[in-house]
Amino acid sequence: MKGSKKWFKGYWTDEHYLDKYSGAQRNANNDYVAVKADEEQLIAVIVDAAERGGNAQRFAEHWSTLLLTTYTQPTRLPLNILLRELHKTLVPEFLHERASYSLVDIDLRNNSGEIIYVGDCLLAVVTGSQTYRVSRPHVINHTFTSLGDSYAHILTRVLKANRFMPPERIGFTWQQGDKLLLSTDGYWQWQADGQTQCSDDASALHIIPDGSGCHFTAETEDTNFRVYI
């Protein structure tokens, strides 16, 4: 990555690593990732669209690329105002779609960053064999703990056209040698269950800061996912 500034949308080339698997109970993988990176900063948006409304894949691509390109402009509106303006673009094409999303803004020089998210696309810091979640999913059983895990799929914040929901913002840091893991809820569930095949879409972007930028390697099993450079 050193000295280069390129756009990557979707899967990565040999410099990047993105696991992406279609769920057995899904007709198609409706996750999408967009990234912009240089030797000082990495910004990534991951979107997990629900399989409803008939336009989930396009919805995920639209929101991830639009949010990234506007967020990374040299001059931009304050975040909540920006998100409200972008939210207006969901009408009329995406009236029935729903999605979770996360944006991570990573300062590679200072080992710090911020996650801005709605729903259950999460960020974790991996230290050796230990994984520490930075963010918690916006699900109803975290608000009402007596409901139990059977309600973990019910979101309390979601991206949808008929109502704007503000994101949660959390700052984070990491130590040299740690890995950052940005992923959809299907990936976390798949890892927790230890199954060879996941029922939901499972996507994860592995980010490995190395002191002079980021190091990535590539792996993919989804031939329907596109990459743009």
Q: Among residues of the chain, what percentage have pLDDT more than 90?
A: 38
Residues near 27 by beta carbon (within 8 Å), at least 6 away in sequence: 51
pLDDT band at 111 (very low <50, low <70, confident <90, very high): very high
Q: How far apart are CA 198 and CA 205, in angstroms?
A: 17
Give the lowest-confidence range in 28-32, 127-131, 136-140, 160-164: 28-32
Count of other CB atoms within 10 angstroms of residue 132: 13
pTM of the model: 0.80
208: which strand partners?
215
